[in-house]
Chain A
Amino acid sequence: MRMPSPKQTLAKAEMDMTPMIDMTFQLIAFFMVLLNFAETEQDARIKLPSSELAKPPEVALESPLVLQLTKDDKVIFGGELLPISGLGQPLSREKRFLELNGVDPKEATIVIRADGDAKTGVVQEVMQLCQENDFEIFALRAKQELAEEEP
């Protein structure tokens, strides 16, 4: 008796990859849209206080400089962790830079992202240092809190 050749009986098993690839691309698209690289200024060491009135600004701030204050009286400015006393020099450098670019420091905005447990006196000292360098517009940043609904 003649045996059938194995080549004739074995069928090639093929998996349909299309739905999986569709789903994977949809997931990638979802994460790409939601990923926000612009939020790099947010530092995990800072726990912002919350406020129900804190709404994202509708127009972009004018020449913003972000100062982040930790609860142990340090300032994060330009990625560097500085003591309060070491902030004067970088601020005057920023002031010169703005002036060279034709921007009046009085019109620049200092964004203060201070930890909820930071001392108010330290925040005031930082603002005073900014004032000494002719900055006078401040934006106190808080995270958005949803208003509690009354029962």
Chain B
Amino acid sequence: MKLRNTGELSDKVDIQMTPMIDIVFLLLIFFIFNFRIVVQEGDFNIRMPVAGPSAASIDTQLPIRVRLTSDDEGNLTGIVAGDRKLDNFSDLHQFILAQVGNDAGPDGADNMEVELDCDYGLKYRYVISAVTAISGYVTADGHIVKLIQKIKLSPPKKPS
């Protein structure tokens, strides 16, 4: 008996790629839309107990008072460190460097404290600039040299 020719049987098994490619592209679109370039953030740590001298501040000297004044729009108008009027944050940084250098002992900066006294309406970015000038600097090879780490803000003085 002659068998009916059913044609050649192929060894190749075709997998349906379409659903997989659909899902893969959907995943890709999801990740692309949720992708954000995030700028690294860092913190300046300050410890501010409610009132009265804390145990940490008993062994420190009197804090260096830094006064930041502002105009009605919140822009910085003046910096006074101790009794000295300064022009900019670079001068404040030099002032702090001189204070740390004058302080005797290897851990001089560890015992020093700065109190920032700011006008109520001053823009917060100037506070961060002041904290940056006070707390350290970055060397040419990218290392951070710490200066005064004990920084506190004076209580708010709401304008009447």
Contact = CB atoms under 8 A, between A and B. Distances in A.
Given A28-B28, A136-B47, A141-B42, A53 B121 contact: no
A31 B24 contact: no
A35 B124 contact: no
For chain A, what secondary structure do more than half of its interface residues adopt (helix, strand, loop), or is it mixed?
Answer: mixed
Interface in B10-65: 17, 20-21, 24-25, 27-28, 31-32, 34-36, 38-50
Best-surrounded residue of B25, B27, B127, B144 (most CB of chain A within 10 A): B127
A76 interface: no
Interface SS of chain B: mixed
Given A36-B38, A53-B138, A123-B127, A139 B43 contact: yes
Interface residues of B, number: 53
Contact of B124 (A34, A118, A125): A118
A117 B68 CA distance: 15
Nearest to A34: B35
B86 to A, nearest CB: 18
A31 B31 contact: yes
A73 B155 CA distance: 17
Contacts of A36: 36, 38
Contacts of A17: 17, 21
B40 A142 contact: no
B129 interface: yes
A111 B119 CA distance: 22
Query: 8 closest pairs, A vs B, by CB?
Result: A121-B120, A54-B42, A31-B31, A116-B125, A139-B43, A49-B125, A124-B156, A49-B128
19 contacts: A31-B28, A36-B38, A39-B36, A39-B38, A53-B44, A54-B40, A57-B43, A117-B123, A117-B125, A119-B74, A119-B123, A121-B119, A121-B157, A123-B127, A124-B153, A131-B48, A140-B127, A141-B42, A147-B142
